[in-house]
Amino acid sequence: MDTVTLIQTLLNSVVASSIYALVAVGLALAFGVMKMANFAHGEFFMVGAYCVYVLYALVGLPFPLAVILAIPIVALFGLVAERLIFRPTRKNILAGFMATAGLAFILQVLAGQIWGVGIAKSIPTPYMGAADVGDATIGWQRLIVIPCAFAMLLALRFFLYRVKLGKALRACAQDPEIAALQGIRTNRMTALAMALAGASAGLAGALMAPIHSVTPYMGHGVILIAFVVVIVGGMASIEGAILAAVILGFIHTFVTTVTDNLIATMVGVGFMALTLIVRPQGLLGRERA
Amino acid sequence: MSAPEEVANTGLASATALRRFAPLLLLAAVLAVLCVLGFELRPYHRELAIVFFINVIMVTSYRLITTTGDWSFAHVVLMGAGSYGAALIAKHAGLPFGVVVPMAGITAAIVGAAFIIPLLRTAGFGFFIASFAMGELVRLIWVKVQFPFGGTRGIINIPSPEIVGLRLSPPVPFYFTCFIVMLAAVFIMWRLDRSRIGNAWKSIHSDDLLAECVGIDVARYRSLAFITGAFFAGIAGALLAYRMGSIDPRNFDLTTMIYLIIWVVVGGTTTFWGPIVGLVVVTIAFEWSRPLLEWRPLMFGGVLIFFLIFLPGGLESLFPKVGNALRTPPGQQFQRLRTWFTTFASRT
């Protein structure tokens, strides 16, 4: 691998890591609070991408506005999923998880019926041109993902550690009963966690819309990687999810550059299997998956 | 015992006898009907019945794994391992049907044994998603590797089944082949469920720490359940490969796996027969919904959510209620309905 390819691949790795981190953080956050495991998380990503398709490519809003609007829309999906699925099935983690598999089916069919199944939606690239980094070039559209993801993750961190509501959310994740004794409303916290999960998945989907091919089934590949990241990071650990996202983002991009995408996915899953054998609780997790 | 009770008991003697033999009679009746149907069904419905038999093996073996509390998401891929195993053995080794089917089961069991090593480190939800990822890994290998799996096109021209010179490929013989294989598989799994091993599996589900304390090797029994389930899934896969004559990775994708979960959830997993009841009901509903082809995943996704929220025990949890309703006088039934409504109203 020569220097140009190396720099290129490094940059692509950072982009991939940012997206993985955005997607996986939501999954880990929701799992941390009341063990809400969302199988439709990949479909939230898909909805985020479709938001950009509708608002930017069809309606003609500016791209940044479309991306910003996608965040609350998908957060709303998260809220609805919490209220209609996770709250009634709180006693049983698997029931909620399988029910969201049903939700994934529903969202796929709706997207397919409203906007068509066939070929991927073409979204005109909002930021043409490429940046020169050393001898390598990388499209602005890809590069822009990095600061957006950083901003979202930093905002999330600020919220969780500095804002009272965020601290309440973490308290609820540590021990729902004791948090409830302190006057924290558990139901609000689960709703908040799912809204945040939806928001981050929606942002990731919205940012990827011009790069990724937008189809009703695009969530499938995303959810697989997100699960692998979350297991490697340690189920409920947000920091673990980010660390694992960086590791897997680099592994995936480098293996893709050397061979192809399929083998990269296999290597990722193999890495997960290895992590489970060597360290079942994940890199930064406390309890076993 | 007082006199009126004695009178009641003698009156009930024939009723208890009936209750003891009723399931057997029902089973015999169902089997007889299925035998007749083998000759009488129209080709399309016969094909449906063959798929139904294969699926019966799938749901029963899936339920066998769930008795330990492990909900696998790789079961359809293990079925695929059986299909690929059967197709390759039949095609390249030219072995007869009677040898290929058990070998397909063993192939799937070996893949299952490889899966369970990392999966043992997980439980509950982690088991679910880790098995999903492992299954995807194997499926991607089929997509990727041209030789011997044939990549995305899969394996075509699987030889038609034959046993001691008897051709099994025509619809009627194949119907009965699948029927007999299904009966044998279900019978073995039923015996296992009733055996000491089956009880050990269930004890792990109810309390794995307690099970370990009374001397049950939890890891070993969990592996045993998973590998046994994989073996039967492989058998089902072999039948599928023979029926279709060609297989490709899309036959074993996530959608099929979610449908398997829908069958099992609709039926319930506490009793042995629950998943089969769920399969029957969902298969019929599935056929009725043929005009609404594109909307089908949405409908069944809705069914899945409905059952998990409102009827988590599945259809089987209704059986005792129906039985009670038939035995209680209508006045009492009305009372019960009222109390049910008031509790339901207070709950929501």
By Cβ distance, the residue of A92, A106, A276 closest to B130 is: A276
In chain A, which residue's Cα lies nearest the Cα of B307? A99
Residues 6+ apart with CB under 8 A from B240: B54, B79, B83, B247, B251
Indicate whether A87 belongs to any domain.
yes
Instruction: Kindly tell me if the per-residue pLDDT of B95 is higher than 90.
Output: no
Q: What is the mean pLDDT of residues A130-159?
A: 87
Tens digit of each residue's pLDDT (9 = 90 or more) over A224-271: 899 899 989 988 788 899 999 999 999 999 999 998 888 998 899 889
Report chain B residues whose CB lies below 8 A from the CB of A263.
Answer: 144
Name the 3-class secondary structure at A175. coil
| A192 part of a folded domain | yes
CA-wise closest residue to B49 among B62, B60, B36, B38: B38
Assign B302 a pLDDT band (cuts: 50, 70, 90). Answer: very high
> Do the Cβ atoms of A92 and B312 come within 8 Å?
yes
- Which candidate from A37, A104, A274 shows the least CB-CB separation from B125? A37
At B277 the pLDDT is 92
Q: Residue A173 falls within a domain, yes or no?
A: yes
Confidence of residue B160 (pLDDT cuts 50, 70, 90): confident
> Among all chains, which residue has been given the structure tokens 């691998």?
A1
pLDDT score at B57: 96
- CA B223 – CA A10 distance, rounded (Å): 41
Regarding beta strands A130-133 and A136-139, do their DSSP bridges make them parallel or antiparallel, or are they unpaired? antiparallel
Within a domain: residue A83?
yes
Give the 3-state secondary structure of residue A163. coil
pLDDT at position B14: 63
Establish, for the pair of chains A and B, how many residue pairs have beta carbons separated by less than 8 Å: 133
Q: How does residue A24 score in pLDDT terms, banded at 50, 70 and 90?
A: very high
Predicted pLDDT at B3: 52
Chosen for mutation from B76, B122, B298, B305 (greatest number of chain A CBs closer than 10 Å) is B305
The per-residue pLDDT for range B162-193, each reduced to its tens digit, is 777 778 878 888 999 999 999 999 999 999 99
Residue A103: inside a domain: yes
Spatial CB neighbours of A125, under 8 Å, sequence gap ≥ 6: A139, A141, A210
> Is the bond into B148 cis (omega within 30 degrees of 0)?
yes
Distance from CA of B301 to the nearest CA of A (A): 4
Q: Please indicate, yes or no, if residue A31 is contained in any of the structural domains.
A: yes
Q: Which residues of B touch A266 (CB under 8 A)?
A: 137, 140-141, 144
Q: Chain A: residue nearest B119 by CA?
A: A276
Higher-pLDDT residue of B10 and A2 is: A2
Window from A138-152, B17-31, B212-226 with minimum mean pLDDT:
B17-31
Residues A105, B123: C-beta atoms closer than 8 Å:
no
Region B49-70: mean pLDDT is 94
Residue B9 has pLDDT above 60, yes or no: no
Token representation of residue B27: 């089973």
* Segment A60-111, tens digit of pLDDT: 899 999 999 999 999 999 999 999 999 998 888 888 888 999 999 999 999 9
Mean predicted lDDT score pLDDT of chain A: 89
The domain segmentation of chain B, as residue ranges, is 17-252
ipTM of the complex, rounded to two decimals: 0.86
The average pLDDT across B17-39 equals: 84
Residue B4 pLDDT exceeds 60? no
- Of the candidates B118, B265, B295, the beta carbon closest to that of A273 is on B118
Q: Give the model's pLDDT for residue B348.
A: 54
Confidence label for A14 from pLDDT (cuts 50, 70 and 90): very high
Give the model's pLDDT for residue B6: 53
Q: Report residue A284's pLDDT band, with 50, 70 and 90 as the boundaries.
A: confident
Residue A164 belongs to a domain with what CATH number? 1.10.3470
Whether A35 and B258 lie within 8 Å, measured CB to CB? no
pTM of the model: 0.86
Note the pLDDT tens digit of each residue in A145-170: 999 999 999 999 999 999 999 999 99
| Record: contact B141-A266, CB cut-off 8 A | yes
Q: Please tell me which residue of chain B has the smallest CA distance to A109.
A: B298
Mutate to test the interface with B, among A27, A38, A94 (most CBs of B within 10 A): A94
Say whether B125 and A99 touch across the interface (CB within 8 A).
no
* A218 and A33 Cβ atoms separated by less than 8 Å: no
Torsion, Cα B257 B259 B262 B267, to 10 degrees, reads -100
For chain B, report the end-to-end CA distance as a whole number of angstroms: 46
pLDDT above 60 (res A288): no
Q: Find out whether B201 and B269 touch, Cβ atoms under 8 Å.
A: no
Residue given tokens 């955005």 in the structure block: A22
Higher pLDDT, A37 or B331: A37
- Residue of chain A with shortest Cα separation from B114: A273
Task: Give the range of the structural domain holding residue A96, as residue numbers without chain letter.
Answer: 3-122+140-278
Q: Which residues in chain A are contacts of B117 at CB distance < 8 A?
A: 277
Per-residue pLDDT band for B312 (boundaries 50, 70, 90) equals confident
Share of residues in chain B with pLDDT > 70 (%) = 93
As a whole-number percent, the residues of chain A with pLDDT over 70 amount to 99
Of B123, B261, B297, the CB nearest to A98: B261
User: Using a CB-CB distance cutoff of 8 angstroms, which residues of chain A are in contact with residue B125?
Assistant: 31, 35, 37, 93-94, 97, 235, 289
- Give the B-side interface with A, CB within 8 Å: 71, 117-119, 121-126, 128-130, 132-134, 136-137, 140-141, 143-144, 254, 258, 261-262, 265, 294-298, 300-305, 308-309, 312
